[in-house]
Amino acid sequence: MKKGKVIILVAPSGTGKSTLARMLFEDFENLKFSVSATTRLPREDEENGVHYHFLSDQEFNEKISSGDFLEWEEFYGGKKYGTLLSEVDKQLNSGYFVLLDIEVKGAINIKEIYGDECLSLFIKPPSIDILKQRLTDRGTEDNETLALRLERAKEELTYADRFDQVIINDDLETAYQEVKKAVVKFMNQN
């Protein structure tokens, strides 16, 4: 069996990354999602092991010490998020392409680890003003959180040139066609 490869989608919050990922899963049966670990509490509709691996701070720290994470980061009120090496390897060894939905710095680290066996796509908003409007329209952010997300987005945008391809999500269908084209090309490489 041929070993799979890694595909990373990175974008500031509110850019449409999750929607683009869902569209990819609808089109590619050989694409699997890597379930991240987090120390935040599950939301009402989330299941452990399906949406995230929900860990206590102690469990998360033990996994850091054991080298179980490909990448991890702490943010948004001290909550930690990370990509478990075991999750990625399990899917890769089964011949699947593994989709990671992670933060900028973690994505850069994973690209360094997997090299040509990894496609990294940065999804960019048309502008910060449009991103602010999208986040406001979601209705999930208070003013403080909105300001934090926008500041983080500005920082994340400075890393865009470190990715294999930058795709501007001005129109969802156009952006998806660009993402899909890049994924198909990557999947067909030897």
The alpha carbon of 38 is separated from its chain's Cα centroid by a whole number of angstroms, namely 13
Instruction: Give tens-digit pLDDT for 11-34.
Output: 998 899 989 999 999 999 999 999
Structure tokens at 63: 């996994």
What tens digit of pLDDT does each residue of 117-148 get? Answer: 999 999 999 999 999 999 888 877 788 888 88
Cα–Cα distance measured from residue 70 to residue 45, given in angstroms and rounded to the nearest whole number: 27
The pLDDT tens digits for 37-78 are: 999 999 888 999 988 999 999 999 999 999 999 999 887 678
| CA pair distance 72, 90, nearest whole angstrom | 18
Q: Considering the domain 6-187 in this protein, what is its CATH number?
A: 3.40.50.300
Domain boundaries, the chain: 6-187
